[in-house]
Structure formats: structure tokens, C-alpha cells
Structure 1
Amino acid sequence: MVGRIIAALLWLVLGLGAGARAAAPDLTLTATIEADSSEPFVGEMVLMTLKGDYAAFITLERFEAVQLPNFTWLQLGRDVWSKTRKNGREYTTVERKLALYPERTGRLTIGPFRHRLTLDDGNGHWSETTVTSNAVSLTVRPKPKTNAGWWLPAKDVSIDDRWDMDPAQLADGATATRTVTITAKGQTAAALPPPPKVIAPWLIAFIAPEQRSTKLTRDGPVGSVRWQWRMRLSKAEPGRLPAYDIPWFDTTSRQMRDVVLKSQRFAYATATAPEQVDAPRTNPAAWLLPLALGLGLPVAATLVGRRPRPPGEILARLRQALPEREALAMRLARLRGDARAYRTAAARRLTRRGLSPEHHLATLDTALFKAGEPADLAALDRQLRRLLRRR
């Protein structure tokens, strides 16, 4: 009889132990990364997702402080908690999103991450445990050199340029306000470029303090910067504000692109004089050359028995004979073998002619940003010269 009782007690103890082992909580924490390239550039966004699946009742929780010495990072909103069922068991799921920006090159390791949990076994007993995630690695490439002086990798960049009145038809003494907003998806506001310097001898301009902001989404941050100028003419003669190019790297297509703050005529509605781009011509060289042309060319034409041409036609022919500034920059860059400087000048020249830099410079972008074959600047230059002659 005593033996049967002892056997029954042993069976009960073993059965309870097995049940406890079967009911042990299933706790997993997984780290995954998502980037537009297997080898992103320095400063390019890498999305990280931390996902915890816990088959337990959680009373308290906290992630240990994130340590990422080789990255700048930000958390994309609050953690998202939900309930799911797998294999007949109920799981508590948590998801945390981070945007990481590598600060140095090479093979970098991210993690592991730790999540401290306080669990309730359902019988009023609490216990603490720490769930550790896996570590992930990625290779980071050095950022390319750019002539603009900044590096802007993003999924998309847009520009909004607005005037509160038509700057080419100003009332006498009027002050116009120009507001420019640049938005970049996949970047913070701190990565956006500084405002252009608006300085001209014919212009009085004041810029307000710029406004930068970053909106957090689950797909990454969206940074924006807002510039605002108040401008008016300092003289009666009209002028023209130059264009301002902002090159940026499209992380999806892996190509350089440009957004352009367009050139703008600035004039009173009553103005009839030609616009000024640079300083007014008040030095002797500014009026001696037109005077010499005006007197010398008719005389030369008379000497060869030909009728003198109108001054407007003479100036037009002179402009056609002189090379464009971007053409000179392209030629110098080609002679130096500087592919990035060549691309900057070529993009401005194509944009001015109404052509797409992304389309006509695709082979150069591939060589610069996809580690392809070295760019043949001589062949590309011949192709662009033929294209521009047809325009």
C-alpha cells in the first residue's frame, strides 16, 4: 500500500514537471534590415525592424539603451503592439522601426538588441527575463565626392517655389516675397543643403530664418527646409536671379539627379531697359567695347563693299561665336579627367536647353555611382556636342 502511494506521488511530480516544461513561454526577438542597395553609401538610410513574438502575458517591458557607435539613428514613432495566433497559441507582438545612417565605411555590425520583460505565469507569480536578438551586418561604401559640397542621398527630393506676386511685373517700389520649400524622403532636415546666397548690385534682399522640420513615418523620415526672401529692386533697371542647382542621389535608381531653383526675371512693370545679371556697366571697358564695335564694324563692312549689319544682328552673331560658360567648364573637366565636375557642368547645360540630364548622362552616372566601367568622357563629350548642335 505504501509503495503504491509513493509511486503515485512520483508520477504526479514528474507529470507536473513535464507540463511546466511544455508550457515554457516562447520568446523571440528578431532584427532585420532593409536598404536600397546591398552595399549602401555613407549617409544613406538603412531601415531596421525589431520584431518580438512573445507567447506570454507581459506586465512590464523595456528595451535596453540602443548602442550604435557607427551610425546616427532615430526611432520611427512609437512601438506597435498587437495580438496574433500561431499554432493555436496566442502571441503578443511588438514592432520597433529605426532609421540608421552609417557614418563610416567597411563591414559594420548592428546589434544584438535586448528586451527586458516581466512575465506573469497566470497564477500571480512574476518573473523577469531578457530576450536577445540576432546581430546583422552590412558593408558600407564611401560617399562619392560632389562639386556641390554636400551629399544628399534620398528616395525622392521635390522643390516648391512660390512668389506672392509676379516678380517680372512689379508695381513701382513693390517688395516681393519668394518662398522655397525643399522636401526629401528618406532624409532628415539636417541633411538638406544651405540656402543660396541672393546677392546682386541691383537687388535689396533679406532672408528670414530658415525653418527645418522632420516628419517621422514607418517608411523613414521626411525632411523639409523652408527659405523665404523679401526682395525689391534698388534701381529702375530690371535684373535676373540666376538658377540654383541642387544635385541629389536617388537611392532607388542609384543615379544622380537634380532639382533646380529656376532663374527668374525681376523687374518693374514699367521697365523697358534690358535686364541685368551682374553689376551695372559703369567702368570704361563696359562702354568702350560697344563703342568700338559700333564704329569699327560699319567701317569694316564699307571697306569690303558690304552693307553694315544692324547692331542687334552683330551682337547675336557674337554671342553665337562665343562658347557657353558650361561648355568651357565641360572642356576643362574633360581635359582634367574629372568626371564629377564634367557631370555638374553638363547637367546645367542640358537643363538650360530643356533636355533631361538623367537620360543623357545615364552612362556617366552608372560609372560614378554603380562601380561600373570608367567613364569615357571623350566619347560622351562628342555625343553631347552632336546633340546640342541639333538644338
Structure 2
Amino acid sequence: MDITVGEAPQGAERDMYIELEVADSEPLVNSEVRMTVRVYYDVELIDVDVDAPVADGADILQIGGGRATEAVVDGRRYRVAERDYVLYPNRSGAVTVQPVTLEALVPTDADASNRRGSVVAPVRRVVRMSDALELDVQPRPDDYTGWWLPARELTVSRERADGDGEIRVGEPLTLRTTMRAAGVRDTQFPDLAEPTIDGAVVYGEPPERSTGADENGLRAEATLDWVVIPEREGEIEIPAMTIDWYDIESHEVRVERLPAMRFDVVSATGAKDAAAPVAAPEDGKAAAGAGNDAGPEVSRDASGNPGGVSGDAGSDVPGNANDDMPGNAGGDAATRETAGRSAPPASTIAGSLRGYLVPLLGAALLAAVAALLLQWRRLRGLKVRLDALEAGSTGTAGNASISSGRDDARLEVALKEIERAAAAGDHDALHAMLQVWARRRWEGQTPPRSASRMAALVEREARLADTDDATPWQAITEALRALDRTRYRGKDKAVGEADATQLRALGRLLAALPSRPLTATPEARSVVVSGYHLANW
């Protein structure tokens, strides 16, 4: 095999060459720059090797696959192989993209194309190099303040992610904020602080981030969930939010605005404005009221006036409520006597209450202590079993199959404890064991802290599952969200029958899941380039 060394031909004498092109030689720092590598050839290429471009002070990522075209250069027709990249300068100033090298084996004579595939055809190795590219990276504009996010496009949305049902005091409300951008990586999104909400507490989940690519460049997405737990009835307001970004195509500062959101919160029992209870009337007052409403039955004369009344109601008329009447005096005495008999001394009442309450409180305290001891013993036994599995006491250290079996055994123990806690109605223990299960199942990822976040991960896997029946997946997500509703409900509110039924089935449903999380299907293939995971968009 001959090796061609020397100065490369120029112009139409070139049978093959390589070039490197960027869309913008003066980009902004951290902004996306499209870059294309093209190989032009007019000979048969038997073996080809093209280096990936590199630059000090910039990240370069390949997007998409290669494509084939044709072009006429200096009057000669070439076949062209193209490959696209995006470059992200990490600093301002001069950045150099090093020359890209092309190595290929080509036939040594013009008739080799007629003997394609011949193992005895003479070949020669040809090496060509592109020119280096010099970029003058610009700093961010002096008048720009805030988080630096240079992008081609940005959209931000916020919605309630747990349905549109009634919001009650003590029950979680999930707000989901989604940022989608073109021309950025997911690590460039700003970190959104948890809002301060009057009348509610807020817990933030770690954001879910992803980066993909299409024919125009990178596209990134970040989703952040906030769990909002109202503490009072009435209206709560989610504050408005703004995100600044820089449009690298129009060279303008833009602002994405999310308006404030308001929600009506009802009491834990479901009534927003419950009527105040009305005290029942006393028997004596009820009887008097009834008598007053009916009035005494009075006979009337021919003129229509009450009997014995000629005009004014004199005080001497029989039937008036006169204190000097013997009948009235006797009635008052009887009333006083009855009242005296029905009002025992306050000390007698207090003594009676102490006699009943002290034994009851003592029994309740003993029962609570006994329950705590039982719970402590159960959790301690569980911890011993899990620690034993973690330490490898059930297998031989250093054996991969034993390690895998130990992980499966740990998952099995967690699932059994989930079933036990669900059957006992111990929702705090159920949540704790779900976290153990989640850490093992999604090992290597940020572990979800809430059942609602676990439900979101299961929903994502459901979209990747090769099945026409999504019912089991949906049952799991509904049960996980039911757990959050149950844990954050008011202490005076009983668990709903529907939620209780879903929770009792949770362990069995989780056991039916694949032991490892599902990844992207072949139709949603992905590649790894320079350490970055790029999904094909």
C-alpha cells in the first residue's frame, strides 16, 4: 500500500478534500453555533476515517446523522458527505477549532472502480486536513442582568398537575412549571426558587432535565414540580414569575412572564363557608315562645273588641300579667323551686368528671405507649433485615450475580413491607418504605422524595411500555397520588374509601412492575457524544 505524503492539490485537481464551516464566527459566550464538516470526493473511497472537531474553550456535540449530497466546485462535480455539530463556547475571547483530519484508502488507478471489491486491487492512503477556524467569542452585553440564557427560542408554562378537583386544607396541590428552549443544553436553565405563598407551605422537587437534538440544533426541557399544601381556607395566590433570556437570532433581551394563579381552598370537610352551629333552645324558653306565638284565646264582643275591653287595655282587666295576681305569684314560686332542684353544685360536676376522665386518659396513654413500642420494634426489625442485605450477609461479596440477587432481595423486602404498612393503614411507614423501594429501582438517579414524583416517573415509563393496556400503570400512579392525599389530609379527616382501596393494592401493583426502569424504545433511539446524552428529536 502506498502512502501519499506531500502538499495537497488545489482547485479542480483535488480528487478529495475536507472543509469545516461555522454559521457565526463571532458568537456570544455560551450560545449555540452551528458547525458543519463536509467531505468532497470524486474517487472511490474504500475506507474513510474522519476526526471529530475539537476546540479548547468550547464544547462540540454532534447532532443527527450524516447526509449525502452533490456539489459542483471549480467546474468539477463532487459527491459530498456532511455531518452537523453544535459548538458552545465556554469563555469569551479567541477560540480556535482545530483542523479536522480525513484519512481514506483510494484505488491507485482510474480503472479501480470497475474492480470494486477486489482484494488484490492496489490502494493508497490519502490524508487531508481542513483549515483551522478562529472564533472571536463575544461576552454577554453589559446592560444584561440576571441569569444568562442565550437561546433561539424559549417557552415557559405552569399548570396544576394533579387534576382539577376541589382543593382542601391540608391536601397537596402540585404545580408543574415547564421550560422548553431551542439552542441550549438543559444545564443552562435557571434554578427556580420555591415561591412564598401566604397561607400555604411549599416543597420543591428536584427538576427533571433532558436535552435532545433536531435538524436545527439542540433542544432542552426542564420540568419542576412544587407541592403546595394549603394551611387555611379561602384564596391562595401563586405569585407571578418572570424569566429573562437573550434571543441570539434577533440580539434582543426577551422576558417570559407567568401570571399569578389563584385557587379557592375549602375546609378539610369540603365546605368553604360552613354555617355556625345553632344552639338548641332551652325547654322552658321554648314553651314560653310557643305560648307567646299562640297568644291567649280571647272571646270578642259584637264590636270586635276583646271581651271586657272598651278601648284601652287597662291594668285592672282580668287576664293581664299583673305581678299582684295570685296565680302569677304562685307560678313564679313553682318555677324557682324547679330551678333550684335542677342545678347541682359545680364542684359536684367537676368531681364526677375527674372520676371518669382520669382512668380513660391513663388507659389512652398506655395504649399509645404500647403502639409506639410495637412500631419501634417493627421498624427496628426491618432496619436489621435491610442492613443485613446491604452488607451482603445473604451472599458472598464480590460476586456480581450475588450482588444482583441481593438487590432483588432488598426490593422484595421493601415490597413486602409496603404491603404490610398499606394493610395496617400506617401511611407514614408506607411512604418510608416506598422511598427505599424507589432508591433501589431508580438507582443512579436523583431519588424521588414524594409519592407524586414517583407517580410521574411511573407515568414516563408507561409511555415507553410496549403494551396496549395501560391500566396497571395508571392504577399505580393513582395509588401513589392517593398516598400523598392521605398523608397531607387534615388530622380530623378520615381516609376516603377509594384511596384506602388503592393503597391496599399498592404493594401488589408495584411487584408487577419490571425490576428495572424502562429506557427509550428503538423508535426513540439516542446516542452519546462527548459525554452528553442526546435523544433524536
Q: TM-score range by the shorter chain?
A: 0.5 to 0.7
**Matched residue type, 1:27:** M
Residue correspondence of structure 1 range 93-242 to structure 2 within 5 A: 93-121=80-108, 122=112, 124-144=121-141, 146-148=144-146, 150-164=147-161, 170-200=167-197, 202-242=199-239
- Kindly state the Cα deviation for residue 65 of structure 1 after the two structures are TM-superposed: 4.5
**Matched residue type, 2:18:** L
Q: Which residue of 2 aligns with 1:248?
A: 245
CA deviation string 1:7-64 (max 9, x = no partner):
xxxxxxxxxxxxxxxx9761121211113xx632211211111111111111222222
- Kindly state the Cα deviation for residue 134 of structure 1 after the two structures are TM-superposed: 2.0
CA distance in 2, matches of 1:120, 1:227: 58
Q: Which residue of 2 aligns with 1:76?
A: 63
- Kindly state the Cα deviation for residue 140 of structure 1 after the two structures are TM-superposed: 1.6
Q: Which residue of 1 aligns with 2:15?
A: 26
Alpha carbons of 1:215 and 1:126: their partners in 2 closer, same or farther (altered >3 Å)?
same
CA distance in 2, matches of 1:103, 1:173: 46
- Greater per-residue helix proportion: 2
CA deviation string 1:297-339 (max 9, x = no partner):
xxxxxxxxxxxxxxxxxxxxxxxxxxxxxxxxxxxxxxxxxxx
Q: Is it true that 1:60 corresponds to 2:47 in the alignment?
A: yes
- Kindly state the Cα deviation for residue 94 of structure 1 after the two structures are TM-superposed: 1.1
Residue correspondence of structure 1 range 336-347 to structure 2 within 5 A: none
CA distance in 1, matches of 2:207, 2:200: 20
Identity of aligned residues (%): 24
Please say if residues 56 and 96 of structure 2, whose CA atoms lie closer than 8 Å, have aligned partners that are also in contact.
no
CA distance in 2, matches of 1:88, 1:136: 26
CA distance in 2, matches of 1:113, 1:87: 22
Unpaired runs of 5+ residues, structure 1, are: 1-22, 273-391
**Matched residue type, 1:73:** I
Aligned residue-pair number: 248
Please say if residues 169 and 229 of structure 2, whose CA atoms lie closer than 8 Å, have aligned partners that are also in contact.
no
Q: Alignment partner of 1:196: what SS?
A: coil
**Matched residue type, 2:58:** F
CA distance in 2, matches of 1:89, 1:98: 27
- Kindly state the Cα deviation for residue 89 of structure 1 after the two structures are TM-superposed: 7.0
TM (norm. structure 1) is 0.57
**Matched residue type, 1:94:** A
Alpha carbons of 1:180 and 1:245: their partners in 2 closer, same or farther (altered >3 Å)?
same
CA distance in 1, matches of 2:75, 2:88: 40
Please say if residues 265 and 272 of structure 2, whose CA atoms lie closer than 8 Å, have aligned partners that are also in contact.
yes
Please say if residues 196 and 244 of structure 1, whose CA atoms lie closer than 8 Å, have aligned partners that are also in contact.
no
CA distance in 1, matches of 2:103, 2:260: 57
**Higher CA-based Rg:** 2
CA deviation string 1:60-86 (max 9, x = no partner):
222224320021221112222356677
Q: Which residue of 2 aligns with 1:313?
A: none
Alpha carbons of 1:87 and 1:201: their partners in 2 closer, same or farther (altered >3 Å)?
closer
Alpha carbons of 1:128 and 1:24: their partners in 2 closer, same or farther (altered >3 Å)?
farther
Q: RMSD of the TM alignment (CA)?
A: 3.0
Please say if residues 158 and 178 of structure 2, whose CA atoms lie closer than 8 Å, have aligned partners that are also in contact.
yes
**Matched residue type, 1:141:** Q
TM (norm. structure 2) is 0.42
- Greater per-residue strand proportion: 1
Q: Alignment partner of 2:220: what SS?
A: strand
Alpha carbons of 1:84 and 1:117: their partners in 2 closer, same or farther (altered >3 Å)?
same
Q: Alignment partner of 1:267: what SS?
A: strand
- Kindly state the Cα deviation for residue 192 of structure 1 after the two structures are TM-superposed: 1.0
Unpaired runs of 5+ residues, structure 2, are: 1-11, 116-120, 274-537
